[in-house]
Amino acid sequence: MSEAEARPSNFIRQIIDKDLASGTHTTVHTRFPPEPNGYLHIGHAKSICLNFGIAQDYQGQCNLRFDDTNPEKEDVEYVESIKSDVEWLGFEWAGDICYSSNYFDKLHDYAVELIEKGLAYVEELTPEQIREHRGTLTAPGKESPYRDRSVEENLTLFKKMREGGFKEGEACLRAKIDMSSSFMVMRDPVLYRVRFAHHHQTGDKWCIYPMYDFTHCISDALEGITHSLCTLEFQDNRRLYDWVLDNITIETQPRQYEFSRLNLEYTVMSKRKLIQLVSENLVSGWDDPRMPTISGLRRRGFTPASIREFCKRIGVTKQENMIEFGSLESCIRDDLNENAPRAMAVLDPIKLVIENFGEEETLTVANHPNKPEMGTREVPFTREVFIERDDFREDANKKYKRLVLGKEVRLRGAYVIKAERIEKDDEGNITTIFCSYDADTLGKNPADGRKVKGVIHWVSASKGVEAEIRLYDRLFTVPNPAAESDFTQVINPTSLEVLNGVVEPSLSSALAEQGFQFERTGYFCVDSKDSTSDKLVFNRTVGLRDTWAKIAG
Ligand code: ATP
Ligand code: MG
């Protein structure tokens, strides 16, 4: 990790510093525990940067552990996408990939241990009845009539559960803790349930599956995790986390610490909602460039460094918060402004003919205005070029620093031209602008000292390459779509606009995902899925400036 990416401290790092100073721990071992039931999103990136970042900075280790206790909702497609997203973000997990399902045998034995200690029992109330018995935040729960079964009976029934003797919902294993606890999670939580489901890792070996709260703490302990970092909604679950580990025979004692989730304006982050967007075809897939997924941001043109930088800027606290979408955009803008080569592309072309220009010329243009080390490229200049329709006016005041009929402007990296006359179609639309050029203005001001202020970009009409240009905007029209009764009703109908543009020929060899600043129009990248050598497709990553801030401010 470079100096530039050195991470600022936070309350979790302070805890670790103290643990290392006091000798409570000699090394740091964290884990990132996604459930393989969806693609990773920018919120997960916060957790990834925290967990893997701490391991890097303290010369410790971070495991990638699939928290796979819900076979019906999980899939290897998600396992694969998660691995590739973590690697793409620039992180390396310690040793082999871990799966909670690796520990199903051990988890089963720990459940038996709890039964033997009189700390767990087989419940035969229905899920509905269990819910009724649980009580509320203000009323205590009611003990189950099955709570005081003997150890022998419980062992027999748990074995029967494991052997498929109960249907789903007929029986489950519960911890025997306290039905009047002020923490709902401590009211005899379910530890195991019956599910006749095929598991993507363990196949049909099991028909009982352990619950998250039972699995997570034991997995942490088995892997020697020292600091188990999760989001605030698990604060109460910490009681259960500690209770399980205190009551089984296991050596290490990991500690759980909670931080606030990332919420981002104009975005939904719950996997249930993201799955809905995909399954109802409201977006083109998990990697639709408007999705807040890592794969969507990647396809949109975000770089791993820009996402890490974002996670650094937002920090880690216990305060609930909502981050402006512009903060994410400014991270990629800063990165691309510094690192992306420049190129010329015309998004809404209109033809311009330079009548006194004869031969084709090859111009040499810098790839970056302040980075000569990024080199130059050749750009063909021809008698006919395209400019943006919006860069020409028949008539305009002085504020308009582009091409006006009868006036001059500079074509970027080329000559000063003057608009002499125009041609229109039957409906009055301009079809062609006829110009003259001053041959003595390549790379220098006009000899007679006259000032030409405006500079516009252009692309050779005969040598330029047609390209589909996809302009992406925020997916939602309101800052907090999750607060709507139906978030699909506030999808931004203009979040994708497709244009037929033309780009300079050097771009035809651009690689998938490669990012550019198209002069004067924004930052774009080659679409990794749809762009081919026959049909280039560019995605707008972000505009040159934050236009939303202007609108809002
Ligand atoms: P959902 O609640 O939508 O199903 P999840 O939080 O359960 O998502 P997991 O796959 O379990 O998703 O998450 C893996 C890790 O990433 C967890 O430690 C979780 O706390 C963390 N995480 C998930 N979303 C965010 C977020 N928005 N901000 C920070 N961390 C997050
Ligand atoms: Mg989860």
- Please report, as a single letter, which amino acid is at residue 64: L
Q: Which ligand is located closest to the Cα atom of residue 82?
A: 1
The angle at the Cα of 125, spanning 120 to 126, to the nearest 5 degrees, equals 125
- What stretch of H or E contains 465? strand 465-472
Question: Quick one: pLDDT at residue 252?
Answer: 87
Please name the residue whose Cα sits nearest to atom 22 of ligand 1.
44
Taking the centre of ligand 2 as the mean of its atom positions, its distance from the CA of residue 480, in whole angstroms, is: 21
Q: Residues lining ligand 1, judged by CB closer than 6 Å?
A: 33-35, 43-44, 46-47, 230-231, 261-262, 269-271
Single-letter code of the amino acid located at 257: Y
Task: Give the Cα separation of 287 and 542 in Å (integer).
Answer: 17
SS3 269: coil
Which protein residue's CA is at the shortest distance from atom 16 of ligand 1?
A: 44
Which ligand lies nearest the alpha carbon of 34? 1
Compute CA 301 distance to the chain's CA centroid, rounded to the nearest angstrom: 11
From 32, 39, 42, 47, mutation site for ligand 1 pocket: most ligand atoms within 8 A of C-beta: 47
- Alpha-carbon distance of 210 to 111, in angstroms, equals 9
d(CA 298, CA 128): 44
Strands, E assignment, 115-160: 120-123
Atom of ligand 1 nearest to the CA of 261: 28
Residues 226/229/235/237 CA torsion (nearest 10 deg): -60
Per-residue burial over 465-484, b if 16 or more Cβ lie within 10 Å, else e, is: bebbbbbbbbbbeeebbeee
Annotated binding site: 35-37, 41-47, 67, 212, 231, 261-262, 269-271
Q: Residues 6 or more apart from 243 whose CB is under 8 A from it?
A: 175, 177, 186
* E strand or H helix that includes residue 501: strand 496-503
> Which atom of ligand 1 is the closest one to the Cα of 273?
3
Tokens at residue 45, please?
Answer: 């990136």
Element (H, E) at 231: strand 227-231
Q: Cβ(7)–Cβ(57) under 8 Å?
A: yes
Residue 406 C-alpha to ligand 2 middle, in angstroms? 65
The confidence score (pLDDT) of residue 1 equals 46
Q: Which of 166, 226, 267, 287 is nearest to 26 (CA)?
A: 226
CA 120/CA 363 separation, integer angstroms: 79
Q: Strand pairing partners for 408?
A: 418
Ligand 1 centroid distance, CA of 271 (Å): 9
As a whole number of angstroms, the distance between CA 81 and CA 488 comes to 25
DSSP lists the bridge partners of residue 262 as none
pLDDT recorded at residue 224? 97
The ligand with the least distance to the CA atom of 271 is 1
d(CA 119, CA 244): 10
Q: 525 pairs with which residues across the strands?
A: 515, 539
What is the whole-number distance in angstroms between the Cα of residue 207 and the centre of ligand 2?
Answer: 22
CB within 8 A of 431, min separation 6: which ones? Answer: 350, 351, 423, 424, 425
Active-site residue (options: 271, 290, 308, 474): 271
User: Nearest residue CA, atom 9 of ligand 1?
Assistant: 34
Q: Cα(first)–Cα(last) distance of the chain, in Å?
A: 37
* Residue 463 DSSP label: T
Q: Which atom of ligand 1 is nearest to the CA of 35?
A: 10
Which residue type, as a one-letter code, is found at position 480?
Answer: N
**What are the beta bridge partners of residue 411?**
456
Q: Which letter does DSSP use for residue 442 in this model?
A: T
Determine the Cα–Cα distance for residues 407 and 395; give it in Å rounded to an integer.
Answer: 10
Residue 362 CA to residue 409 CA, distance in Å, equals 20
pLDDT value, residue 549:
64
Residue closest to 310 by CA, chosen among 321, 324, 296: 324
Neighbours of 141 (CB within 10 A): 19
**Active-site residue, 261 included:** yes
536-to-467, 495, 498 alpha-carbon distances in Å: 5, 21, 13
117 is catalytic: no
Q: Are 546 and 330 in contact (CB under 8 A)?
A: yes
Question: Do 218 and 106 meet the contact criterion of CB atoms below 8 Å apart?
Answer: yes
Interior CA angle at 251 toward 248 and 253, to 5°? Answer: 85
Which residue shows structure tokens 């990638």?
A: 64
This prediction has a pTM of 0.95
Cβ atoms of 221 and 238 closer than 8 Å: no
Residue nearest to atom 25 of ligand 1 (CA): 43
Instruction: Supply the pLDDT for residue 173.
Output: 98
Distance from residue 32's CA to the centre of ligand 1 (Å): 10
Q: How many CB atoms lie within 10 A of CB 362?
A: 9
SS3 for 550? helix
In 148-198, where do the E strands start and end? 172-175, 190-194
pLDDT number for residue 5: 61
Adjacent-strand bridge partners of 194: 208
- pLDDT < 50 stretches in the chain: 1, 3-4, 553
Closest ligand 1 atom to residue 234 Cα is 20
> How remote is the CA of residue 35 from the centroid of ligand 2, in Å?
6
Is 35 one of the catalytic residues? yes
